[in-house]
Structure 1
Amino acid sequence: MRELKGLTVANDMTEKTLQRVQELEARGITPMLATVRVGANPGDIAYENGLLERAEKNGIDSEQIVLPENITQEDLLAEIDKLNQDPGVDGVLIFRPLPKQIDEEAVCRALDPKKDVDGITPGSMAGVFMGSEKGFPPCTAAACIQMLDYYGIDLNGKNVTVFGRSLVVGKPVAMMAMDRNATVTICHSRTTPEMLRDAGRKADVVIAAVGRADFLTRDLTGEDQIILDVGINDDGAGGICGDVDQEAASAAAAVTPVPGGVGSVTTAILMDHVVTAAARSALQKK
């Protein structure tokens, strides 16, 4: 069983991103990422700190927008509008979930798709489903495809089974796989056990994005498959584990580890999106 390690992919992407940033800086352009955090959730703060550190390493400027937990819908939308109108901001990342008093869908709709580097707006989703460059795909879904590309795994003519149908991973990664001429099956909570087994066993590539520890067991997989494990779950012992159990992982031809797999690439994808947004903005102004 071969491990498809994400750090190798992320480091390769970082080198390329730095080169792109240097090319933009030579033209007087410095990419800018703005983060919007409501409240002080420890998980959000930890991720934000890592994100800002990665931005600095990539030569990307950053701005933190920290708002009170009890902010009103109107005030939050006003902050989003300011960022939309700010020509110095290329990409915006909004930490979710938002507090209960906030209509999260309305916030996602309010963000300009051109600055939606995490793929949360309807405009970005439309871009994914239409195969256009409007907005950006969700970073985790894009990280799956990036890993396959890096390790030379061609999806052309392959059977791909996606476990999970979220807008964060399942649906967009299915569309992106079809763009590479794969035949895709999506399984979800209402898929019958018999259909789950059939879809899992026949696949050349399996993408597990359910969010349940050890969901993908050996009886749901075939022989010599490529398995991308997108799950990040509490393993009950103070660590994290993926959606794929050890027996299924061991039988695969190649698998992404958790931790150290797809998640390692997600932030690198975000940085790439910010730089792309800056380049698109500069081209539009020109």
Structure 2
Amino acid sequence: MANILKGKEVVKKVKESMKRDVKDLNNRGITPTLAIIRLGENPDDIAYERSILKNCDGVGIEGEVYEKDENISTEDLISLIEELNTDNNVHGILIFRPLPKHIDEDIIAKTISPLKDVDCMNPLNLEKIFEGNMEGFAPCTPKAAVMIMDHYNIPLEGAHVVIINRSMVVGRPLSMMLLGKNSTVTICHSKTKDLKGFTNSADVVVTALGRPKYVTDEYFNEKSVVIDVGISFDENGKMAGDVDFDNVSSKVEAITPVPGGVGSLTTSILLSHVILAAKSL
């Protein structure tokens, strides 16, 4: 049976650090505050919002929700963001995505102050990652994947890591983070020929396909470390990762579960960015 790389231990460590930082900020008269912008009443957004607010309460962060009609104009949304950009009592800004189709997401991303961009939407923050600067606001999901590997002492220096995702949200920034740790990185995607050949030769495989249980034991060897970033639902409506966990966990060396793996850490990282912003502003 593989070593199960659970996110719970890492979450506990991050939250303990946040609580110490919040106490220090409070002693300076600062309450770290996150502004959440939600457009419309999408049930998934509302559920995520509740989860974030609960986690905010748990570490001493103030969460403020700005609910707007989903038909809001790009101009009005820009005005709200600019108002929050200049509010010294707001340290982080989070906008639930995807945005409605009539909203120009590129303009919105560039409008958020890079100093308050805790979800790493602004291209200036992404640019820092590609320049090798990991000290700011990195995308939460790839950062969570790296933190889990660091916590469990997965050797990354010199390791061959295959990432099955080429998006700007996961695959590309993750590749930069791993290059910063001296890994050798291969990015694969839906057009990759002989995907199994790449994954079987890798030391670490990170998958973010969004296809439940798509990746079977044929993709791995007995020394594989598998980081499953995919979150979707199987035919029974049960949350599942990209990897067929029951089938693969008996073969590989280590694997993250879904749920309870990378995804369980992402909200904590988001909130840690709010604290980082509060300390910097």
TM-score with structure 2 setting the length: 0.96
What aligned pairs does 1:1-20 form with structure 2 within 5 A after superposition? 1-20=2-21
- 1:126–1:134 Cα contact (<8 Å) kept: no
Higher mean C-alpha displacement, 29-38 vs 210-219: 210-219
- 2:228–2:241 Cα contact (<8 Å) kept: yes
**Aligned residue for 1:275?**
275
Q: Residue deviations 1:4-40, cap 9 Å, x none?
A: 1111211111011101111121122221111000000
* 1: CA distance, partners of 2:241 / 2:135: 31
State whether structure 2 residue 257 is matched by structure 1 residue 257: yes
State whether structure 2 residue 238 is matched by structure 1 residue 239: yes
Q: Residue deviations 1:31-82, cap 9 Å, x none?
A: 1111000000000000001101101111111111110111011101111111
* 2: CA distance, partners of 1:254 / 1:135: 29
**Aligned residue for 2:32?**
31
- 2:134–2:177 Cα contact (<8 Å) kept: no
**Aligned residue for 2:196?**
197
- 1:124–1:134 Cα contact (<8 Å) kept: no
SS at match of 1:180: coil
State whether structure 2 residue 206 is matched by structure 1 residue 210: no
Name the count of aligned residue pairs.
Answer: 279
Unaligned runs of 5+ in 2: none
State whether structure 2 residue 96 is matched by structure 1 residue 95: yes
* 1: CA distance, partners of 2:104 / 2:177: 28
SS at match of 2:210: coil
CA shift, 1:155, in A, is: 0.8
What aligned pairs does 1:1-286 form with structure 2 within 5 A after superposition? 1-132=2-133, 135-192=136-193, 194=194, 196-245=195-244, 246-281=246-281
* 2: CA distance, partners of 1:133 / 1:207: 19
Unaligned runs of 5+ in 1: 282-286
Structure with the higher helix share, 1 or 2: 1
- 2:38–2:45 Cα contact (<8 Å) kept: yes
The amino acid of 1:226's aligned partner reads V
Q: Residue deviations 1:65-107, cap 9 Å, x none?
A: 1101110111011111111111111111100011121111211
* 2: CA distance, partners of 1:133 / 1:182: 15
* 2: CA distance, partners of 1:98 / 1:244: 29
- 1:163–1:208 Cα contact (<8 Å) kept: yes
CA shift, 1:133, in A, is: 5.3
The amino acid of 1:55's aligned partner reads C
Residues 135 and 68 from structure 1, CA distance in 2 versus in 1: closer, same or farther, beyond 3 angstroms?
farther
Residues 226 and 134 from structure 1, CA distance in 2 versus in 1: closer, same or farther, beyond 3 angstroms?
closer
CA shift, 1:172, in A, is: 0.9
Residues 133 and 176 from structure 1, CA distance in 2 versus in 1: closer, same or farther, beyond 3 angstroms?
closer
* 2: CA distance, partners of 1:48 / 1:172: 25
